[in-house]
Homo-oligomer: A and B are copies of this chain.
């Protein structure tokens, strides 16, 4: 495994901020100059559920409680820290969860995004200065909702648009749909679409008849066919029922084994968009003037396709939202000028 990807060559600028996007399965690191420009970035597989194991070459301070976190930070950024020991460290994502390095308590929505940067949780790293961890957001409700990491992307994307009401979609393992209204994060919904898709493919009978060739392009026609289901009369049966068609269309010879994964992906995303549309229809205090997507390009393409089918859009794709957000949070926190 290629454990380090230097996507930008290191440049000779002075480091003003070291920022981490530290999730469940990966650790992405950004080195900024004083103007907020990313000088260098790195990606490692050391998410909080996959921290590096101890090695003989470990520094003495990479032991004890939370040793895995210190070890990951050291392996990822020791050279940056050594070259700029005064540069502040900031991190967003699951690193602030109960299972993370240090719990950064949730802030409740609605709230103004610039409040988030003023509520960072400080943890001593033993490697250079302290690390400031961004809090997640909590929506108190009969069915509560939480996010960690996406708030940073939302903050990074928001500056780009003048509209007062914006709907931001963050497709992924757990898709988030965030309503921003008059400069406040007003409401958000979560759909476990990505994780459910993975579990259905890997751990149910639906996966048994699928054939997937990673070298092949995805089957867009199968995706669209699946995505349409939720808007038909058959879709009324709900996703617990419609997913069975991924198998039965195979049994009847109407869906090739190589098309079943894309069909199921479309089917689930279609149900998500159909439900989103219904939620928006009953949200009388929210009329978005812009719809934006943040995330993996291939996944955003799928969501844009499904949104089109349901007449929701047009869609803006937000770029570099994470790094913009980390920089802005560091500014709100007073870590950088």
Contacts and interface: CB of A to CB of B under 8 A. Distances in A.
Nearest to A281: B236
Nearest to A206: B192
Interface string A231-247: 01110111111111100
Given A146-B248, A203-B199, A251-B144, A191 B236 contact: no
Interface in A171-206: 174, 189-193, 195-196, 198-200, 202-206
Interface of A: 98, 138, 140-146, 174, 189-193, 195-196, 198-200, 202-206, 229, 232-234, 236-245, 248-249, 251-252, 254, 268, 271-272, 274-275, 278-279, 282
Given A190-B244, A244-B190, A144 B236 contact: no
Contact of A200 (B190, B196, B205): B196
Nearest to A233: B282
A286 B238 CA distance: 20
Contacts of A192: 204, 206, 240-241, 243-244
Given A138-B252, A144-B252, A245-B144, A238 B195 contact: no
A237 B279 contact: yes
A171 to B, nearest CB: 12
Contact of A143 (B140, B190, B196, B242): B242
Contacts of A138: 252
Contact of A249 (B143, B200, B244, B272): B143
B144 A249 contact: yes
A238 B241 CA distance: 12
A303 to B, nearest CB: 14
Nearest to A250: B144
A230 B252 CA distance: 32
Contacts of A234: 141-143
A200 to B, nearest CB: 7
Given A144-B249, A146-B248, A192-B204, A239 B238 contact: yes
